[in-house]
A = this chain, B = another copy of it.
Amino acid sequence: MLAVCLHKGAVFLRDQPRPRRPDGFALIRLLCGGICNTDLELQRGYYGFQGTPGHEFVGEVVDADDSNWIGQRVVGEINLACGDCEWCKRGLGRHCPRRMLLGILKHPGAFREFLTLPLHNLHRVPREIPTMHAVFVEPLAAACEIRDQVRIPAGAPVAVLGDGKLGLLIGQVLKAHGAEVHQYGHHKEKLRIAATLGIDARLRKKAPAAAYDWVVDATGSSLGLVQAAKMTRPRGTVILKSTVHGLVGIDSAPVIVNEITLVGSRCGRFEPALKLLRRGQVRVDNLISEVLPLKQASLAFRRAAQAGAMKVLLNA
């Protein structure tokens, strides 16, 4: 079968045997994969990664212990947790210290014709959701995670800093749950997409100081946190959605003086994401830049890294 591989910055294809399916796992045929910024970071060597990336996918189950799964169209949670530890028992396998991560850590990713994942990681995709939309479930779950961590009152103004893919998902999720979202970005075209989604889109350079009780940093840049803290009112909350590698210089004095709370936020549960897509409360069609076949993965990675690119999908 065909598999995408990363090695020392290069993206190449390899022909390799189908993976063996361990007990409790499903063998899944890839239908569609989405290239995430994390994949681009893995390409650049973050975590010393090499191998097959890919953690945003939709597939069809072709083999499983339980034959009811066979033929099902599925998405899959990316944390392969131990199932035994206190975190797993609390339903927080996403923080299991022994976890592996699909396409990131110790478990080969989804950018190959066939992949494996534990059955309990899988969610059936309702028929109302097209495959090219369902591939957004993983990042959309990360956007939904904010609502599992903090309680934003209905009608509260929320600033979402960043108009990239994740920022526009977050803006839609918070709007769907009743917040008054102000989406701040640098890019006129992306802000135009936000506007077509019914979101109040604004230029980031005009963002006001000390104006919001709730600010989400989804800029993906180390300057995002600094600006987000400036925009936050005393006793307000900044949700950190930008994984920036290496040291970020922050001036902690205003965070302390203004008693601001910073909340790190990562992966989320898939259920609320699937519900929002099924009900059409989040739209993703505008967030797709391009769809390329798996065998053009190298080109797809280049396109995804271009300035202004939105989601690039890989079709199998």
User: Would you call A95 an interface residue if the criterion is a C-beta within 8 Å of the partner chain's C-beta atoms?
Assistant: yes
Could you say which of B235, B243, B250, B261 contacts A95, with CB atoms under 8 Å apart? B235
Copies in the complex: 2
Residues from chain B with a CB closer than 8 A to the CB of A225 are 252
Interface pair A257/B264, CB less than 8 Å apart: yes
User: Would you call A69 an interface residue if the criterion is a C-beta within 8 Å of the partner chain's C-beta atoms?
Assistant: no
User: Would you call A119 an interface residue if the criterion is a C-beta within 8 Å of the partner chain's C-beta atoms?
Assistant: no
User: Would you call A196 an interface residue if the criterion is a C-beta within 8 Å of the partner chain's C-beta atoms?
Assistant: no
Chain A 212-255, CB-CB to B under 8 Å as 1, else 0, gives 00000000001001000000001100001111111111111101
A263 to chain B, nearest CB (A): 5
User: Would you call A259 an interface residue if the criterion is a C-beta within 8 Å of the partner chain's C-beta atoms?
Assistant: yes
In Å, the complex CA distance between A260 and B261 comes to 10
Residues from chain B with a CB closer than 8 A to the CB of A235 are 92, 95
- CB-based closest 6 A-B pairs: A95-B234, A247-B249, A256-B264, A255-B264, A262-B262, A259-B264
- 26 residue pairs of the A-B complex, CB under 8 angstroms, read A95-B234, A95-B235, A95-B258, A222-B252, A225-B252, A240-B252, A240-B256, A241-B256, A243-B252, A243-B253, A243-B256, A244-B253, A245-B253, A246-B251, A248-B251, A250-B250, A252-B264, A255-B264, A256-B264, A256-B265, A256-B266, A257-B264, A261-B261, A261-B262, A262-B262, A262-B264
